[in-house]
Structure 1
């Protein structure tokens, strides 16, 4: 198997271009799935406090290291700071909790999960705290905290200086927020992780990051496929059945899923697909030994509808009784 290339951000970092996304990975299967993923060649794991499975993910990592399958330095491990821990005094304890749960001494990359600061919930009260401040309230809501991105970022920089993380970055930021962050950062963001797929190509954002030397990781690289089961997309939204994707799959002898991942990698982004089927792990990783033509890349990119499936401006009001737009 030919592995996909590394994503290089202006020579600053090199990240395995295909990682295993751990969102929605059930707790009961997480340790085994991570261990199996490492067995078949994954070296990039994309985790988060909010996924609620970091202890089990850590068990899978521990097993693989103990069995001599990998060393810690062979892995690229990403995690994310949750919204309730944005205040400077909460950033390091949140990171340290993630490190304990994952059973590692450092993270390769730590990201601000959303540009949304929520009221603090102590670990002993609820962990992960999720979105609602008080789920038992008569009408539970998100409660916002007055914490600037600048304050959170400077606390993230302290984690690098303390040796707890090697790189820091952000998720779900637009170009305006990135510009503001770059104006105050002492340590520049190494990575931006955003929803990105042929229905949401984000060309301007990708170009801006290239020019600034910021790596880009695309989450939900299959687009609506990740959201059908939770009612945020419909089966007919599928990218797998689009003629441009099907045509490229037929020419290359690959699956539509592999074509979508190759499209993302060939654009110069890392991709972090999640799969609920263990047999798909190797298929998703096997996108390094074929290329799409310029015409195929263009035809797949032309599917863009600026269609965002993971939008707090929509799901937060529906699920958490709180209007919380972050995209115009």
Structure 2
């Protein structure tokens, strides 16, 4: 069985494929549409985008093309998008849900996330009241069938607790920056304890960790590449990776994960120093 056919089950019973295809930093246009179409052709069934990425339309065209050309039903493809971090009011969030649906050209999204607990212009300054206002709009969209599951992204423990304390529907997912050497253990453990599936964006640290000699040694022991180990590392920790690629070879290789790391290997990799320390991190340890 391919990892691409395996799923996690969200708290509301919706199933989500264990590996997603990420599209962060991929521009609107033919390159993104072609990459998503190729991923779907190669068996991916989970595509992650965001309103802020500016490429929802390309992702939607690719999904619709795959439905036509590959004979896929809408329910065969899990599509995630996100509410821009700056939108911290009910009406703005409700309007943006509809905007994302229009951009995608789909009648529903499978998962919709608040992209961050603070506007990008004021990082680490969480807007508790604004998050609750936006969350209420997501709950309404969920009830209306526009979204099948709702969640959050880049939320630290305080931010998650704010939603859990006041919302009617608990978040199904928390999507965070996570990779070998930067695993956000407190944030991950809290989310998982409260029934959230944790997703890892940038599981390859934008390529920064692939030159690590320890990672290379683990890869050699399994007869795979460092990138494949980095993605498998997420899965073996119960975390859902969202690798991004544009070349067919990389898209295919990122899904060839039919091996398993030992517990010792997982511990060793988790303890490595951060391979990308200059990158701005949203870390729950604050």
Common fold: TM-score over 0.5: yes
Distance in 2, Cα, partners of 1:240 & 1:29: 24
Q: Are 2:39 and 1:70 equivalent residues in the alignment?
A: no
Partner residue in 2 for 1:24:
25
Q: Which 5+ residue runs of structure 2 have no aligned equivalent?
A: none
Moved more, 26-35 or 102-111: 26-35
Cα deviations by residue, 1:1-45 (Å, 9 ceiling, x for unpaired): 722532234574421111110111132311111111100001000
Conserved? CA contact 2:117–2:127, under 8 Å: no
Partner residue in 1 for 2:166:
184
How far residue 75 of structure 1 moved from its aligned partner, in angstroms, is 0.8
Partner residue in 2 for 1:6:
7
Partner residue in 1 for 2:50:
48
Q: Across the two proteins, how many residue pairs are aligned to each other?
A: 280
Q: Are 2:231 and 1:249 equivalent residues in the alignment?
A: no
Partner residue in 2 for 1:280:
250
Structure whose alpha-carbon radius of gyration is higher = 1
Q: How does 1:164-175 map to 2 (within 5 A)?
A: 164-175=146-157
Pair 168,11 (structure 1): closer, same or farther in 2 beyond 3 Å: closer
Distance in 1, Cα, partners of 2:127 & 2:163: 19
Equivalent position SS for 2:86 = helix
Cα deviations by residue, 1:183-220 (Å, 9 ceiling, x for unpaired): 00101100000000122111122111221111100001
Equivalent position SS for 1:279 = helix
Q: Are 2:239 and 1:269 equivalent residues in the alignment?
A: yes
Cα RMSD between the aligned structures? Answer: 2.4
Cα deviations by residue, 1:51-108 (Å, 9 ceiling, x for unpaired): 1111111111111112243111001100000123321111121111111111111111
Moved more, 14-23 or 303-312: 303-312
Q: Which runs of 4+ in 1 moved over 6 A?
A: none
Equivalent position SS for 1:183 = helix
Q: How does 1:70-219 map to 2 (within 5 A)?
A: 70-117=72-119, 148-219=130-201
Select which of 34, 38, 41 maps to 1:39: 41
The TM-score with structure 1 as length reference comes to: 0.79
Moved more, 80-89 or 175-184: 80-89
Distance in 1, Cα, partners of 2:194 & 2:127: 30
Conserved? CA contact 2:117–2:154, under 8 Å: yes
Equivalent position SS for 1:274 = coil
Distance in 2, Cα, partners of 1:191 & 1:166: 12
Equivalent position SS for 1:179 = helix
Cα deviations by residue, 1:240-281 (Å, 9 ceiling, x for unpaired): 122221111111111100000000011001110111323210
Distance in 1, Cα, partners of 2:22 & 2:183: 19
Equivalent position SS for 2:248 = coil
Partner residue in 1 for 2:263:
294
How far residue 311 of structure 1 moved from its aligned partner, in angstroms, is 3.9
Equivalent position SS for 2:41 = helix
Pair 308,211 (structure 1): closer, same or farther in 2 beyond 3 Å: farther
Conserved? CA contact 2:57–2:104, under 8 Å: yes
Pair 10,85 (structure 1): closer, same or farther in 2 beyond 3 Å: closer
